[in-house]
Every structure is written in structure tokens, then in C-alpha cells.
Amino acid sequence: MGKDITIYDIAKEVGLSPTTISRALNDHPAVNLKTKQRVSEVAGQMGYRTNLFASNLRRQHTHTIGVIVPRLNSPFMSTVISGMEKAATEGGYNLIISQSLETLQKEQANAKTMFDSRVDGLLVSLSYETDDLHHFEPFISRGIPVIFYDRVAEHEQCTSIVIDNLQAAYKATSHLVEQGCTNIMHITGNLKRNVYSDRLKGYKYALIDNNLPYNEQNIIVNNLSEEAGEEAAQQILKMKKLPDGLFVSNDTCAVSCVKTLKQAGISVPADVAVIGFNNDPICRVIEPNLTSVNYPGSEMGELAVKALILRLNGSTEGIASNTINLRSELIIRESSLKSKVAGKKWGQLAPK
């Protein structure tokens, strides 16, 4: 690999001082148009590349935003990143994306890399293992904005962007009760994280309000992967009394669970009505189509970047509080319809 061309190489070729070359490349008014054109032409021929990173450092910003996600292979996170990319491009920023792989150690390493890369701000969805925010203190102490989204933790100097997971879970569980379910199981993720602990609360509150008992045996905590869905279904099949309703905290796990139950001869929804979470495209592929909570991932990603850019511009206008709640809705499909619900809407009754 050849060495990078510098302004000194161009100066030697053109016969001008490095200062004049620098001014010409930066469109300085002190350099006449003819000289600027000549310098630009020679720079192009020699393969000169502007060092934007060094230039931005001199201006104390890099126009980059760091993003830390738990897993890149998540359909939900893909939609979030898509929204972030759209808003970042519109705002003149680039994204640096890394994944924690659900571990605190990797998340800490990611945060250090982002800090050393001098990102202007940081967007974070926390790993399963994260139990403190110490590794984000270098950002916060230097006034570099940190925004948490989806999986969040409270910090007085950081904004969090979420949906009302408790209310969404309450609606999902109540819909199953409305369909005649009285023995409803809940499959969820690591309860350290707000999204899963709040969904469990919503599930519990719905049972209480419908005079149904809460049973610890009806709670399965796993990593919500496809494999975890298969294992959960096998666990359900071994129960003396099968549940008649199942509320799962993501669609990947829910679909895997449905497939395994059907392979064992269990009818969905006649025997077990099932609801997932996120409204991923896979919901419309599985048969029967999966009822799910629509989580506005793209909107969340766009909002996270826009809120961060507002912070970078020194404005908090449009940021109402430390927590921003986005609207979600229950998309009702065949997997949860034990009985026909004419004209009934919890959020939206999806077409077949």
C-alpha cells in the first residue's frame, strides 16, 4: 500500500507553499480561483484524500454517533438501526455500530472504543448483564450526550426512549382472557432489563384485574432465541395441565414455540392461543399468523438520533423529559383468536 498524498507533496508538484495549498483546498478567499482550480486538479490526479477525521478533531467534533446494540441479528434492532441511519444521514452524521453480545464485558469494551473514537454522542440499548452505568461516566462527565433506548436504565443526565411495556403486556394478556383463556403462561427475557420486568408486571396486573391466579410455574425466563422457543415448548408439553394461552416477549421465540407445539399435535389457537411481541415480518409467515405488539422500531431509531442531535446543538426543545414514551398497539391475528371478535379493536385488527 502506497503512502497517503499530503499537501506537502502537492505543494512540491505545483510549486506553491503548503499553506497556500491548504487554503486552496479549503476554498479560502485569499487564494484566487485559477490557483484553486489548479490545486484541485493536481490533488485529484495525485490521489489526495482530505483527512476529515483530523479536520473534525480540530473543530472538536467528528460528526459520528456511536451505537451499542445487544445483538445485530435481531429483527427489531435492524428496524431501529434503519431509522437511526435515516435520521443520521439527514442530520449530516455517520454511525459507528457495535454489539455487546448480551455481555457487560463486551459492552464496556464497546463504550471505551466509542470514547477513544471521539464520537460526538452515544446511543445505547443495554445488555442482559448490565447492572451499573459506570462505563458511560467518561461520556457524561465530559458532556458527551448518552441516550438509552428500548433497554434503558435511569440516569438524571441521560434521556431514555421506550414504549409503555407494562401497558402493552397488560393489553396482550387481557386479550387472551377475553378469548376465554384462564391458564396463561408468559415467556420472557432477563428480568434485570426494564422491557422484560415491565412486561411481567403488565401480565400480572391483567391477571389480577381479571380475577385469575398468578402462578410462578407459568413463567419461563430464557434468552428469547429460536432455540429457547423450542425448549420452552418442550417444557410446556411436559406439564400435567397445558396452558390455554401463551404471551411471549418476542416474536422469534413465539414463532419457534408455535412450530414446536404444532409438531406435537397442539392446535393454535384452539388449544393454545399465542401472542408475541415486536410485530416482526415473521408474524405474517407463520401459520396461523401471529398476534403481536407492534413496536415502532424505526420511529424509535429516528427519534433517538434526532434527540441526540438536539443535545449536540445545545437544545432541549422537543425533549419533554428524561423519558420519552412511544405509542404501541396490539395487532390481532389468527394465532390468538379462539373466538371471533367482530369489530373488536385493542389496537388494530390485522387482515388475514
pLDDT of residue 58: 52
pLDDT of residue 12: 92
Domain match, 190 and 273 both: yes
Domain match, 124 and 241 both: no
**Is 36 within a domain?**
yes
Instruction: Summarize pLDDT for 133-192 with one digit per residue, the tens.
Output: 999 999 998 889 999 999 999 888 899 999 999 999 999 999 999 999 999 999 999 999
Arithmetic mean of pLDDT over the chain:
89
**Is 59 within a domain?**
no
Interval 66-90 mean pLDDT? 94
Biggest CA–CA distance in the chain, Å, is 89
- Binned at pLDDT 50, 70 and 90, residue 347 comes out as very low
Domain match, 260 and 149 both: no
Domain match, 80 and 175 both: no
Provide the number of structural domains found in the chain: 3
Interval 199-216 mean pLDDT? 97
Interval 51-63 mean pLDDT? 61
Domain match, 95 and 225 both: no
**pTM here?**
0.77
Domain match, 93 and 176 both: no
pLDDT of residue 69: 97
Domain match, 98 and 188 both: no
Length of the chain: 352
Domain match, 303 and 155 both: yes
- Binned at pLDDT 50, 70 and 90, residue 346 comes out as very low
Domain match, 171 and 251 both: yes
Residues 121, 308: contact at Cβ < 8 Å?
A: yes
Domain match, 335 and 198 both: yes
Cα–Cα distance, 187 to 190 (Å, whole number): 10
CATH assignment at residue 174: 3.40.50.2300
Tell how far CA 173 is from the center of its chain. 24
Q: What is the DSSP letter of 217?
A: G
Domain match, 287 and 193 both: yes
Cα–Cα distance, 8 to 31 (Å, whole number): 17
**Is 38 within a domain?**
yes
**Is 1 within a domain?**
no
Print the domain residue range for 15: 7-50
In 3-state terms, what secondary structure has residue 57?
helix
**Is 55 within a domain?**
no
The three cell numbers of residue 225 are 432465541
- Binned at pLDDT 50, 70 and 90, residue 29 comes out as confident
Instruction: Summarize pLDDT for 229-246 with one digit per residue, the tens.
Output: 999 999 999 999 999 999
Domain match, 207 and 237 both: yes
